[in-house]
Structure 1
Amino acid sequence: MTTSERPLRVAVVGAAGWAGSRHARAFAKAGANVTHLVDQDERAIPLAQELAAQVVPGVQELPADQLDLVVVALPTTLQPPICADLLDRGLRVLTEKPVAADTEGAAIMAVASGVHDRLMVGYTLHQHPAVEILSQWVHINDVIVVNVRSVAHKRTIDSWRADPKEGGVAVVNGIHAIELVSSWLDGEPHVSATRANSSLYGSPVPEHVLATLEFPSGAVFTLQSYWSPWREPQGLNQGDWSLTIDVLAAKGRMVLSNDSLRRWDRDGGQHEQDFEPSDLFLRQAEAALRFCAGHKPAVTFAQALRATESADAIRADAVRTAAASGTPEVPARDPHRNP
């Protein structure tokens, strides 16, 4: 039986977690055969029974010759060596965003076999139908400024999110917008101003980040990203994530607000379009299956690396700003840690 005649075979690493379980169910719904779940947590057992999958404790137990794709959904600091190992074994990999918590972690991935051909980085925003329209509009307009507000609802900041090695809210949540905007605008941006704060929850990581970046074209990108204890009335990911992207260009303006898109033309025309809430995990699974069939990945390693480099620059500028003001609100990273 050829690949085209059977469901593609998928394994999910970190299947017991929130993202991992969403990936596993999404791939099954998209028509894939989820054959293996990698996790040592007992929560993976009922999911495996639901999907008729086998639970294995580690990636070394995965049969590389019996899989078409491995999905890696782990805390960001754990992903690079695991993804690199899977790529070196000849597998195709879909890894949760970002590609690494910092450029040191990304360097592990950079030397892996097939990193530019067999790796897709899971930035789900590219799968939203409104973002597809907005991206097309941006590419034919001269952008002046992009303003983004990205808010993720969290009752507490604990577990891996509270680990300073994970980078805080800019890396865990704001990185979605950083990657998307950097895919629109050419060149390396300069971080001109950053402030970070950790007083919303009192965790040891940046919980609120406000940053301004300037691209070589002169376009300015402002990002406000924070975790919020308050649930907003509308949002992506079943209401857990509220996102607004406001793009001003010389010939018009376009605003994405969750599942709504508004456009103002220079001649006074106005256009509105509302979208049904999208299961971004399902749409990404469908894109990943096309990737397995030979299509280009929605987000490549090179593109994901640009976002990670910008997030690193934001983080470093926040630390410098806090030190200069005498109020070190953001813990500095340990440069000697193992990424």
Structure 2
Amino acid sequence: MTSATPVTLGLAGTGRIGTSHAETLKHLPGVGTVIVADADAERARAAAGKLGVQAVPDLDALFASDLDGLIIATATDSHPELITRAVDQGIPVFCEKPVATDIQGTLAVIEHIENSTVPVQIGFQRRFDAGYRAARAAIASGDLGWLHTLRATTLDPAPPPAEYIPRSGGLFRDCGVHDFDIIRWVTGREVEEVYATGTNRGEQFFADAGDVDTAAVILRLDDGTLATVSLARYNGAGYDVRLEALGSRGNAIVGLDDRAPLTSVEPDYVPSPLPAYPGFMERFRRAYTDELAAFLSVATGEIDSPCTAADALEAFYIAEACELSRRERRPIAVAEVRH
């Protein structure tokens, strides 16, 4: 298979992110056919009809469709089976994060696929965002000098549905894991220790699920750089995702644009006329497209996976350490949660 040959891609899961991916895939150069399936066959048919792609009645039919690549956008608990099944059939895989619901499940998938040459790419779309890429380049070039502080934020304008929270994995694994991955990626460093705390100021269903709706994290990187991560489910001003990389000679700030939901109270401030980002799909639309374009290159053998299951595991370790820190109210070395 070469990049000049139109490919057939399958997509499992036609919820919000899956449907968006199907629409993106349909317009990617080099994609010939997009076939979708869902546990809810009617939902798959409806999405296919709306988008002008093919639908099959179930996942078995999807795997029997002579696929050149598979995109997994199903519920997290189905990810391990679908990843390993695809790899066993020689089908390159793109899977939305996480690999599995817990560390043990993630390790089991990695063990299953580690001797295979079939590529697996995990969906951490921030790696494909132009701002984060520019920050990574600035850090690597030495233009910022040595880093002393990183400040990351992921603030949702409104919480997910109540029924989602008990199966989300919690704020650190579901939301903060993106910040943990991108901090590793832009710096090229590992996180050695975390201290995390959280609180609930909103709906009771977070506390009922043993989760929090707001959290603050301090990370110590292996070179001594400190990073803070702020997470929240209630940020009524809009979707706010930023990263500040502060160095001895300069700084690089990601996400500081005319749609960032920030309001200055300084008297000479002129507010932007543009609306704030309402959610992650709008904020990272281009990154999602570039991520799937990269997967097409992975599937056709042009490049290696830019985000492996092992990468996802490292971010998951940090999230796990944060949850343990929050519960036990003490600093946690990431080594404590490694298996």
Q: TM-score range by the shorter chain?
A: 0.7 to 0.9
Aligned residue in 2 for 1:336: none
**Pairs within 5 Å for 1:252-271:** 252-257=250-255, 259=257
Aligned residue in 2 for 1:171: 173
Aligned residue in 2 for 1:37: 36
* Alpha-carbon offset, residue 310 of structure 1: 0.6
Deviations, residues 234-256 of structure 1 (Å, cap 9, x unaligned)? xxxxxxx3211111112211111
Write the letter of the residue equivalent to 1:298. Answer: P
Aligned residue in 2 for 1:28: 26
Structure 1 residues 36 and 65, CA, compared in 2 at 3 Å: closer, same or farther?
closer
* Alpha-carbon offset, residue 229 of structure 1: 5.8
Deviations, residues 158-217 of structure 1 (Å, cap 9, x unaligned)? 233x11x43222222221111011123455423342112233222222222211110120
Structure 1 residues 125 and 116, CA, compared in 2 at 3 Å: closer, same or farther?
farther
Kept in 2, the 8 Å contact 1:210–1:222? The answer is yes
* Alpha-carbon offset, residue 65 of structure 1: 6.8
Rounded to whole Å, the distance in 1 between the matches of 2:71 and 2:96 is 8
Rounded to whole Å, the distance in 1 between the matches of 2:141 and 2:3 is 37
Write the letter of the residue equivalent to 1:66. Answer: D
Kept in 2, the 8 Å contact 1:64–1:89? The answer is no
Question: Equivalent of 1:216, from 218, 222, 225?
Answer: 222
Rounded to whole Å, the distance in 1 between the matches of 2:73 and 2:27 is 18
Kept in 1, the 8 Å contact 2:155–2:235? The answer is no
Write the letter of the residue equivalent to 1:194. Answer: A
Structure 1 residues 83 and 260, CA, compared in 2 at 3 Å: closer, same or farther?
farther
Rounded to whole Å, the distance in 2 between the matches of 1:137 and 1:316 is 33
Structure 1 residues 229 and 177, CA, compared in 2 at 3 Å: closer, same or farther?
closer
SS of corresponding position for 1:35: strand
Aligned residue in 2 for 1:158: 162
Deviations, residues 267-296 of structure 1 (Å, cap 9, x unaligned)? xxxxxxxxx974322221111111112212
Rounded to whole Å, the distance in 1 between the matches of 2:224 and 2:3 is 47
**Which TM-score applies when normalising by structure 1?**
0.79
Flag structure 1 segments of 5+ consecutive residues without an equivalent: 233-240, 262-275, 323-339
Structure 1 residues 257 and 194, CA, compared in 2 at 3 Å: closer, same or farther?
same
Question: Equivalent of 2:288, from 267, 281, 292?
Answer: 281
Kept in 1, the 8 Å contact 2:70–2:93? The answer is yes
Q: CA RMSD in A?
A: 2.5
Structure 1 residues 244 and 63, CA, compared in 2 at 3 Å: closer, same or farther?
closer
Aligned residue in 2 for 1:309: 317
**Pairs within 5 Å for 1:120-159:** 120-141=121-142, 142-159=146-163
> Structure 1 residue runs of 4+, over 3 Å off?
2-6, 114-117, 184-188, 258-261
Deviations, residues 83-138 of structure 1 (Å, cap 9, x unaligned)? 12221221110010233333122112112235675100111111111211111112
Flag structure 2 segments of 5+ consecutive residues without an equivalent: 260-281, 331-339
Structure 1 residues 191 and 78, CA, compared in 2 at 3 Å: closer, same or farther?
farther
Are 2:228 and 1:230 equivalent residues in the alignment? no
* Alpha-carbon offset, residue 79 of structure 1: 1.3
Aligned residue in 2 for 1:13: 12
Structure 1 residues 56 and 229, CA, compared in 2 at 3 Å: closer, same or farther?
farther
Rounded to whole Å, the distance in 1 between the matches of 2:214 and 2:36 is 34
* Alpha-carbon offset, residue 76 of structure 1: 2.4
Write the letter of the residue equivalent to 1:199. Answer: R
Rounded to whole Å, the distance in 2 between the matches of 1:286 and 1:159 is 33
Deviations, residues 131-163 of structure 1 (Å, cap 9, x unaligned)? 111111122332211111111233543233x11
Kept in 2, the 8 Å contact 1:242–1:258? The answer is no
Deviations, residues 50-71 of structure 1 (Å, cap 9, x unaligned)? 333122322x333457111111
- Bigger Cα displacement from structure 2, 127-136 vs 105-114: 105-114
Percent identity at matched positions? 19
Kept in 2, the 8 Å contact 1:247–1:254? The answer is yes
SS of corresponding position for 1:206: coil
Are 2:304 and 1:296 equivalent residues in the alignment? yes
Kept in 1, the 8 Å contact 2:56–2:62? The answer is no
SS of corresponding position for 1:112: helix
Write the letter of the residue equivalent to 2:83. Answer: C
**Which TM-score applies when normalising by structure 2?**
0.79
Aligned residues: 295
Rounded to whole Å, the distance in 1 between the matches of 2:243 and 2:96 is 22
Write the letter of the residue equivalent to 1:153. Answer: P
Rounded to whole Å, the distance in 1 between the matches of 2:195 and 2:296 is 40
